[in-house]
Structure formats: structure tokens, C-alpha cells
Structure 1
Amino acid sequence: MIDFPILFEDGEALVIDKPAGLPLDTPRAGGVSLDDYLDELRFGFQRAPAPVHRLDRDTSGCLLLARNPKALKRFSAAFEARIVTKVYLGVVQGTFELKHGTIDLALSKISSAANGWRMIAAKKGKPARTHWKVLAEHDGLSLVEFRPETGRTHQIRVHALEGLGQPLVGDPVYGDGDGTGRTLLHALRLEVPRDGKPPVVAEAPIPDDFRALGFTL
């Protein structure tokens, strides 16, 4: 049974409010994933919808699904062309003198047998750019709006650590993993332009674990 809100729906698109902790693919160790819900998300359509982009397991919020292969191709092209507006909220350790800016740090993947894989800032990596703005501060934490231009793996998480000098609260890879049950990152808003049609626009309410730390919009 579907236990998350549908934020947008029409003949070619669905946007769901993905819960934190729900992976898109079935984990190696087993367990529930978005794959288990795709058939229910048909809502009478012949095909099950397919995710257009990716959100980390811990990340909550706006996830776009395409209802047919043609829509999937068009939406994927929009992401590739960087014409999709993506707005995220993250709770970051610490407070900052500078309240807004742009982080330009190329990213590269590294891995080791002992620690697994992670992304790092590297001059020879793939270009990555994120605009950021502090929205609020509370108890030594900052609510930060992130607007990524690119869509690199773990981009916001690494840019928070390397660009702002502090990790996202709860991040077990780029921070200490303490304080919450997950990395506090939320896909707040998504806007996807479409030729000849109104854009796909969706906004996901701020999650309860953000509110529990004193952050609202």
C-alpha cells in the first residue's frame, strides 16, 4: 500500500514525496524499495512509471517518475540539459558568517576495500556547481537552501563538507552520522519545463525531523 503523498500527476508524469529511508532499488541485503511500489503507482495506466532521476536512500522529497518511455526520454534530456530547477533543504552543522554563495568543486569517485566508495573534490573530476543560501539558524545548526546546477552523485553532501566546511547533520559518510536517524537532506521543489505543456511543478512539505530541530519555512 502506498504510504507517501503524490505531489503532481498528469498523463506523463508523477512526482512523489519519497520518504527518507526508502531506496530506489532493492538493497543487496533485501528489504523494501521503490521498486515494490511501482506497480501500485500505475493508477490504471498500462505501464508502471519509472524514476527519471535519483535520490539517495536517506534523502526525502520530490522524485519525478515518467509514465511512458517517450516521457522518460524527454525528462531525462531536460535533466541532462540542466534546465530542471531543483531546490533542496539541508541541515548543516554549525553557523556561517557568509550567508550565501556558489560552490564550484569538481567531484570524483574513490573506493577502497576497507571503506567502500565515496565522492571527493578533485580538480580532474566532473564539474559540479551548487548555489547555497542560509535560511535559518537554530541551536548551532543552519538550515541551508541548495540549488545544484549539476547532478553529480552525493554533490550536495560533498559540497557542504568541502565548500562550506561542515557536513550535513546525520551524514554517516561525510560527517559523523550522529544526531538523527538519517542524513538531513530534503528535495523541496522540482520544476521541469515541457515543450507545448505547462511545466511539471511540485513541492514537498518540510519533514518532521527538520521541524523537530526547530526549522520550518
Structure 2
Amino acid sequence: MIETIVLDVGETITRDDRYWASWADWLGIPRHTLSALVGAVVARGQDNAEALRLARPGIDIAAEYDARETAGRGEGLDESDLYDDVRPALAALRGLGVRVIVAGNQTRRAGELLRALQLPVDLIATSGEWGVAKPHSQFFQRVLEVAQADPGGTLYVGDHPANDVFPAKASGLRVAHLRRGPWGHLWADDPDVVAAADWRIDNLTQLAEIVGA
């Protein structure tokens, strides 16, 4: 029985459109160019940050992030960044008595911005706040600690095979792979992803059906 559902952030509950557009603008390159580079690294199975390194060889991403914040061009997140199914899906899960947690590889600032949206969830946490990031097993151990639930009763939902599906499964959680965003679409039918995922979904509203089954 699923008692707790934990959702990834980027391309699970939020669109990454603005994130990548803002980086392209900051680096002074066409948005289409950076978007294409993101697609290239996704196809290679590399970390998304590699797209920034391709666009600007030798870039110090942490230093650039700080520079953007100082210049008033740092992270932004509001209601328009949420996928349309997020609030209905979360409300339905809460209505079923499921504990709902949002936890992904984001900064402390992203955590603050997410909490400001007042989503119908029990907890929002980021890797920047925890000091450990996916795919490290300690991230998922922390998930289980805050969930206060048995691994078999906890479902992790995400789009990324290497960061979500495989490590969550290895940590004993149930897994739903979401066909959303570049990673979700490109790797949806990969045999290893299909084998590892307990469920494969196209919309977050399907989670209520999983809980109620």
C-alpha cells in the first residue's frame, strides 16, 4: 500500500523552460542553441550541467550562479512554472490521505520559492538544504526519514532515469517514471527504465489511480 508519494521537482512539477532561457540570456547565446545542447547531453545520458559547459567551456557554474544572484538575475519560480496537472494531482492525493512530499536536486533558494507557492503538500525539501543530492543513496535515505514510512510504502515520482528511477529503486522505494521533459520522453521506452519502474505515467493525476488500486 502506498502511504507516501515523493515528487521530483524539475520537469516533474515545474517546467524548466524559464531556467534554461535565463541561462541562455545570461551567457549571451540564443535560447535555441542552449536548448539544443540540453537535448544533446540528454541523448548522451550526461548531467544537464554539461550543456552549460558545452556552451561556455571552462565555466565555473557556481560562480556564475552567484554572479546572477548579485546582478538580480537569479532564480525565479512562480505559478506559471507549474505544470497544469500539479495542483489537481496533489489535492487529489491529499484527499486520499496520502503524505505528499516534494524533494529534488534544487538550491536552497528554489526551496524557498517552492514553499512560497503554498502547494498542497506536507513538506518541500531540496538537495541544497539537505547537503546531499541525487543520485546519492543518502538523499533517498533522507527521503525515507522525512516520510516516516516504510520504503515499500513510499513512491518516488520523477522523469530522470539516473537521478530518480534507478537510485530510488536501489534504495527500496517504489518508482513511477514520468514521461515528461527531455529525459522523460527520450528514455521512456529504454528497457532498463521499463524494467525498473513499478509504474510508467504520462500525467500526475494518474497517481491517485495508483494509490486507489
* TM-score scaled by length of structure 1: 0.25
Q: Which structure is higher in helix share?
A: 2
Q: Which structure is higher in strand share?
A: 1
Higher relative contact order (CA 8 A, sep 6+): 2
